[in-house]
Amino acid sequence: MAGHTDRHNDTMPSGTLTLVFAIERGTPSPLTLHRTKAAVPFAGKYRVIDFPLTNCLHSGLRQVLVLTQYKSHSLHKHLRDAWSLFNAELGEFITAVPPQMRDGGGWYLGVLEALRQNRYLIERSRAEQVLLLDGGVVYRMDYAELIRCHREQAAAVTCALRPAGGALAEGAVTVSCDADDRIRALSPQAAAPADGQAIYDAPMGVYLVDKALLLAELDALAAAEAKAAAAADAASPPGAGADLALHLLQPLLERETVYAYRFGGERGRVTPDQYWSDLGSTDAYFRANMALLEAAPPLDLYQPDWNILTYQGQYPPARTVPGANSGNEGIFVNSMLAAGTVIRGGGVSHSVLFPQVEVDDGAIVDEAILFEGVKVGEGAQIRRCICDKDVVIGPGERIGFDRAADEARFDVSPDGIVVIPKGQRV
């Protein structure tokens, strides 16, 4: 990254304060029972939040506050283990900020109310602008180029947009821009059927706001957030994307310069793959992981100048060994195997295995995602499954072959993906 440092000095570190929202439980719900969405494992070794934090690191942003709330221990531990890499003596930090209860004594009711509770942190920052990020989304982006674009246009707010198409989810927001990419309208949508020809611009959970403007707006935004939260599920505050688009941007369109930044365009140092996923359901999560096994995956994890950082335990290398009883070699085909994984005479195909997974003699794992510490017993067969952390599959078990039998024991998605909860012994 040394070759890029000078080019991006204008983002270092006092110019921009970054706030990453990781406060809601989020989806997919079977995987967020014991962790916030930002802490959900992804792609064999990472957590979802590693992607926006890596974007910050490579973009020269060194002042990052991660606002946390829902079952945050797992996320706090990950931030400590993986992201304690900045130098506090130079004014650099990645700091978790749970609800401080400085005003009213309550929890974060949503992203805008979380901003209000942490207004003092924004006020005391020397930053000129504030970057607001959804911590529960997977993508790669050069924020330094977004900041440069914001300054070139003398914008008050810059909203990153992604091209989207197909079905509109309930509450989805579409954006209308003029020929100069100034945002003129935002429209919340009711759910609509898929239309393969319909392409529209959608917010992607990335907003750059001038600090003075953000502070001036917080009181009005807090009132709007309280109204929105009152109609929402109190156990799962509204997501960052929709709230910020509708309650931060929309009131400013008539009186401030609000510009779009086109994600996946020619600007920036990341391969313009236009990959963006909010992992919005069990099926979306499963497809996103399986897509990484394609010959040309939609998300390039191997771009050498944009490596994704995370915590890696000091585990021995993954290996295959002959089965103790059968003597058959352990095999794997087109799969991801993380460190510490051992396949003892079993077979793994088209699967994603996190660290310290064990697959025993004669066991078959096909199209599955096995989180850290999963053990698959001798002769067991599992397919189209997601096994959460420390699941133990007993010898001879068959999962993923009989939907009715699976539904009697586990959560099964509309596409038939079986999710086995954390720590369960089957």
Q: What are phi and psi of 352, to 5 degrees?
A: -120, 115
Whose CA is closest to 350, among 293, 288, 291, 289?
Answer: 293
In a domain, 241, yes or no: yes
Query: Looking at residues 384-410, what average pLDDT do you find?
Result: 98
**pLDDT for position 383:** 98
Running DSSP on this structure, what letter comes out for residue 250?
G
Domain that holds residue 97: 2-306
For 365-388, how does the pLDDT look when each residue is reduced to its tens digit (9 = 90+)?
999 999 999 999 999 999 999 999
Is the pLDDT reported for residue 244 higher than 50? yes
CA distances from 192 to 26, 239, 280 (A): 22, 20, 16
**pLDDT for position 7:** 45
**pLDDT for position 168:** 62
Query: Within 13 Å, how many C-alpha atoms sit on residue 421's CB side?
Result: 10
378, 254: one domain = no
286, 403: one domain = no
**pLDDT for position 239:** 41
Q: Considering its fold, how many domains does the chain have in total?
A: 2
For 101-149, how does the pLDDT look when each residue is reduced to its tens digit (9 = 90+)?
877 678 888 888 888 889 999 999 999 999 999 999 999 999 999 999 9
**pLDDT for position 187:** 86
Burial of 329 (0-12, 13-18, 19+ CB in 10 A): middle
Provide the token pair at 341.
Answer: 């994984």
259, 380: one domain = no
In a domain, 362, yes or no: yes
Is the pLDDT reported for residue 192 higher than 90? no
Residues 302 and 318 sit within 8 Å (Cβ to Cβ): no
Query: Looking at residues 176-197, what average pLDDT do you find?
Result: 77
Is the pLDDT reported for residue 166 higher than 80? no
Q: Point out the domain boundary residue: 245, 278, 306.
A: 306
Distance CA 300, CA 343 (A): 26
Distance CA 382, CA 233 (A): 35
Q: Which helix (H) or strand (E) holds 165?
A: strand 157-165
**pLDDT for position 4:** 42
Q: Residue 12 — very low, low, confident or very high, per pLDDT cuts 50/70/90?
A: very low
Whose CA is closest to 417, among 384, 388, 391, 383?
Answer: 384
Q: Residue 100 — very low, low, confident or very high, per pLDDT cuts 50/70/90?
A: confident
**pLDDT for position 190:** 60
Maximum average pLDDT range among 206-220, 266-280, 411-425: 411-425
CA distances from 175 to 186, 220, 301, 334 (A): 5, 22, 29, 39
Running DSSP on this structure, what letter comes out for residue 247?
I
Q: Count how many residues are written for the chain.
A: 426
**pLDDT for position 116:** 86
Between vectors from CA 19 to CA 240 and to CA 184, what angle results, nearest 5°?
A: 50
Q: Point out the domain boundary residue: 271, 306, 341.
A: 306
Query: Looking at residues 196-225, what average pLDDT do you find?
Result: 82
Question: Which amino acid is residue 13, in one-letter code?
Answer: P
**pLDDT for position 111:** 86
**Where is pLDDT greater, at 111 or 31?**
31
Kindly state the percentage of the chain with pLDDT values over 90: 73
**pLDDT for position 232:** 61
328, 301: one domain = no
Is the pLDDT reported for residue 311 higher than 70? yes
Return the CATH number at 217: 3.90.550.10
Q: Which helix (H) or strand (E) holds 385?
A: strand 381-387
Instruction: Using the structure block, give the residue that is written with the tokens 């900045």.
Output: 86
Q: Average pLDDT of the chain?
A: 89
Whose CA is closest to 186, among 127, 235, 252?
Answer: 252
Alpha helices in 196-254 (DSSP H): 211-230, 240-243
* Coil, strand or helix at 29: helix
Provide the token pair at 119.
Answer: 């207004």
Residues 415 and 288 sit within 8 Å (Cβ to Cβ): no
368, 270: one domain = no
In a domain, 186, yes or no: yes
Return the CATH number at 360: 2.160.10.10
In a domain, 313, yes or no: no
**pLDDT for position 110:** 82
Distance CA 34, CA 157 (A): 35
In a domain, 347, yes or no: yes
For 58-71, how does the pLDDT look when each residue is reduced to its tens digit (9 = 90+)?
999 999 999 999 99
416: left (phi over 0), alpha (psi -120 to 50) or beta: left
Is the pLDDT reported for residue 169 higher than 90? no
Between vectors from CA 23 to CA 18 and to CA 25, what angle results, nearest 5°?
A: 140
297, 325: one domain = no
For 251-304, how does the pLDDT look when each residue is reduced to its tens digit (9 = 90+)?
899 999 999 999 988 888 887 778 999 999 999 999 999 999 999 999 989 988
In a domain, 6, yes or no: yes
pTM of the entire predicted model: 0.91
In a domain, 277, yes or no: yes
103, 207: one domain = yes
401, 298: one domain = no
**pLDDT for position 228:** 59
Provide the token pair at 40.
Answer: 């959900």
181, 216: one domain = yes
**pLDDT for position 5:** 41
Instruction: Using the structure block, give the residue that is written with the tokens 């660290």.
Output: 355
In a domain, 256, yes or no: yes
Kindly state the percentage of the chain with pLDDT values over 70: 87
266, 296: one domain = yes
Q: Point out the domain boundary residue: 282, 306, 330.
A: 306
The neighbouring-strand residues paired with 357 are none
Q: Which residues of 111-121 are buried (b: 16+ CB within 10 A; e: fewer)?
A: bbbbbbbbbeb
406, 291: one domain = no
77, 144: one domain = yes
